[in-house]
Chain A
């Protein structure tokens, strides 16, 4: 499973969406109608899944932002 696929699975589960609705370019707030609580829950699950720390949700607008952030953390 790629990083994107794992993150996609978490978002689908957390927001009760279809996989097709969650693509790399998908915007959390506008397209998935996620509020800040949703985002924090997704971030929490990602932290547990990848064993990393996401300090702030700032700048995480799309799924791609999140995937890139996690990949950078994993490389560090």
Chain B
């Protein structure tokens, strides 16, 4: 099997950690990234797999960081097969209470960060005439959610970005797709009360939370495809049907 190089932004926990681990288990090179230096026990965990984990620390909402991330990856591994734009934050509030800072910081990381890294990796992938860019959107970007107007706007923006760039890069065989996860088990959902969880599950036809690994499997699936671009894949237990 060919060893691929995959960049996963925001891989210190949750879905990003699951995606990085999935590719490392398969023996690939994975650039792992966090805003702060990844703790040594996490790096030990990543290094316990067959693949090579290579940490590059930095904030994707900083305009200059994307350039460094792509340049260093290219230097280290010679090519870039997959970029997974996963890094994201939530800063929930009702619209009448939402501050500029809450709105801007969410847009800056979730949407503008995706723009910065995609712009830089596109230059490399166009030259290679191959590559996959996989953007993490959310079911919330498709159907909306109370208290998450900033997050929903950023994730809907990611879908528009995905489809436009898919058209721009298609002539060179570079594919761009998005995944819209639903309610996924994470530190965030862990802290919810049973009552809140039960209420949330009412909107999930499959009646359970998703696992980060199930999103990672979709990322892997897309990365192996050669005739799929500009699509949004819903990994949400059917949640989007109840929009």
Contact = CB atoms under 8 A, between A and B. Distances in A.
Nearest to B172: A37
Interface residues of A, number: 5
A73 to B, nearest CB: 21
- Looking at chain A's contact residues, the main secondary structure is helix
A41 B171 contact: no
A25 interface: no
A44 B123 contact: yes
B126 interface: yes
Nearest to B169: A37
B35 to A, nearest CB: 27
B123 A35 contact: no
Contacts, number: 10
B174 to A, nearest CB: 10
Contacts of A3: none
A35 B171 contact: yes
A14 interface: yes
Give the size range of B's interface with the partner: under 10
B127 interface: yes
A37 B127 CA distance: 10
Interface string B56-77: 0000000000000000000000
Nearest to B168: A37
Contacts of B168: 37
Interface in B109-145: 123, 126-127
Interface in A31-54: 35, 37, 41, 44
A57 to B, nearest CB: 15
A44 B74 CA distance: 17
Contacts of B123: 41, 44
A14 B123 CA distance: 11
Interface string A8-20: 0000001000000
10 contacts: A14-B127, A35-B171, A37-B126, A37-B168, A37-B171, A37-B172, A41-B123, A41-B126, A41-B127, A44-B123
Interface of B: 123, 126-127, 168, 171-172
Given A37-B168, A44-B123, 8 more contacts: A14-B127, A35-B171, A37-B126, A37-B171, A37-B172, A41-B123, A41-B126, A41-B127
